[in-house]
C-alpha cells in the first residue's frame, strides 16, 4: 500500500473543494480542510490576519510537512464584494502558498491553484490591476475596476488572472520547482457548484445561462475534482506552470487561434534574457 499523503484543501466544505477532499480521503490520503465552517481549520481568508492564522494552523496540524495543496476557496462575481473577491481569490492563494512553501518543499509537493476561464473571456480587465493584486496593493487594484457596472466580473477575472500569472511566474523559480514543488493552475468554466446555482437564481442568471458551452452543460464538481486529484499526484510531476482549461470548450470556441501561438519578434529579447537568467542559477 502506498504511504498516505498529507494534502491541504481550501474551500473543502462545498463545491469543487469538497469533491477533491472526498476523493483524496477515499484513496487513503490525509486531508486538512480549510473553510469558513466545516473544515479541520476554520478560517476567514478575506483578511490578512485570517489568512495568517489559517496558514499557521495548517502547518501545526501537518507537522511542517505537506505532500500537496489544492486551493479551491473562492468567491464568485458578487455585486458589492469586489474587494473581498480580490482578498479571498488572489491573496488567499498567494499568501497561503508562500507561507506553506517550506512544508511543501519537505514533501516535494504538487500544488493546484483554481483559476478560471474568465481569465480569457472577460473584457476590460486592467493588467495594472492584476499586477497590483499580485503585489498586494488592493486599494489601487479595486479603483481600476471600471466600468463600474462590470466591477463584479472584473474583480473575479482580475483575481483569477493574478493567481494564474503568479503561478506561471513562480513555478519555474528555484525556490519552487528547484525545491521540488510543482505549481499548476486548473481553470474551470461553468461548474454546478453552490456559487453557480446562486448566480443562476439571481439577476445574472440569464447571462450565465446564455454563455456558450460547446459541451452543452456546466461541469459537475466531481469532474473537476478528478482532474485536480491527478494534478496534485506524483503522476503530474512533468507539469510545471501549466494552466489546464476544463470548461467544456468555451475558451477554445472564443479563442481557438490564440494558443499555441508563435513567438513574436519583439518578445525574443525577453525570452533570451530569461534563458540567460535560468542558466546562471
Q: Does residue 100 contact residue 55 with C-beta atoms inside 8 Å?
A: yes
Q: Does residue 162 contact residue 145 with C-beta atoms inside 8 Å?
A: no
Beta bridge partners of 110: 68, 182
Nearest-angstrom CA–CA distance, 246 and 46: 27
Angle at 278 between CA 274 and CA 281, to 5 degrees: 145
**All three cell numbers of 177:** 520547482
Range 84-106 burial, b when 16+ CB lie within 10 A, else e: bbbbbbbbbbbbbbebbbebbbb
Active site amino acids: 156
Nearest-angstrom CA–CA distance, 245 and 223: 13
Residue-wise DSSP of 129-196: HHHHHHHT-HHHHHHT--SGGGHHHHHHHHHHHHHHHHHHHHHTSTTTGGGT-EEEEEEE-SB-SHHH
Nearest-angstrom CA–CA distance, 6 and 238: 21
**All three cell numbers of 250:** 468555451
Angle at 90 between CA 106 and CA 154, to 5 degrees: 155
Residue with cell 487594484: 141
Q: Which residues contact 248 (CB under 8 A, 6 or more apart)?
A: 189, 190, 213, 214, 215, 216, 217, 218, 219
Amino acid at each position: 500500500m502506498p504511504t498516505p499523503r498529507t494534502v491541504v484543501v481550501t474551500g473543502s466544505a462545498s463545491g469543487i473543494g469538497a469533491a477533491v477532499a472526498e476523493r483524496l480521503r477515499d484513496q487513503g490520503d490525509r486531508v486538512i480542510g480549510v473553510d469558513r465552517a466545516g473544515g479541520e481549520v476554520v478560517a476567514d481568508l478575506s483578511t490578512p490576519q485570517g489568512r495568517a492564522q489559517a496558514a499557521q494552523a495548517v502547518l501545526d496540524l501537518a507537522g511542517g510537512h505537506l505532500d500537496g495543496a489544492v486551493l479551491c476557496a473562492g468567491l464568485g462575481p458578487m455585486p458589492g464584494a469586489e474587494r473581498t473577491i480580490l482578498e479571498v481569490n488572489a491573496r488567499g492563494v498567494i499568501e497561503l502558498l508562500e507561507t506553506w512553501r517550506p512544508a511543501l518543499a519537505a514533501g516535494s509537493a504538487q500544488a493546484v491553484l483554481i483559476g478560471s476561464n474568465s481569465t480569457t473571456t472577460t473584457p476590460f480587465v486592467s493588467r495594472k490591476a492584476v499586477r497590483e493584486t499580485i503585489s498586494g496593493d488592493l486599494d489601487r487594484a479595486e479603483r481600476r475596476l471600471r466600468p463600474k457596472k462590470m466591477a463584479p466580473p472584473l474583480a473575479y477575472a482580475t483575481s483569477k488572472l493574478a493567481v494564474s500569472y503568479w503561478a506561471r511566474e513562480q513555478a519555474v523559480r528555484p525556490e519552487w520547482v528547484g525545491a521540488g514543488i510543482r505549481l499548476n493552475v486548473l481553470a474551470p468554466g461553468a461548474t454546478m457548484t453552490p456559487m453557480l446555482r446562486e448566480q443562476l437564481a439571481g439577476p445574472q442568471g440569464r447571462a450565465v445561462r446564455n454563455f456558450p458551452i460547446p459541451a452543452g452543460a456546466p461541469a459537475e464538481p466531481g469532474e473537476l475534482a478528478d482532474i485536480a486529484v491527478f494534478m496534485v499526484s506524483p503522476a503530474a510531476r512533468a507539469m510545471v506552470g501549466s494552466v489546464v482549461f476544463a470548461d467544456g470548450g468555451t475558451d477554445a470556441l472564443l479563442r481557438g487561434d490564440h494558443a499555441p501561438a508563435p513567438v513574436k519578434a519583439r518578445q525574443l529579447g525577453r525570452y533570451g534574457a530569461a534563458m540567460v537568467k535560468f542558466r546562471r542559477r
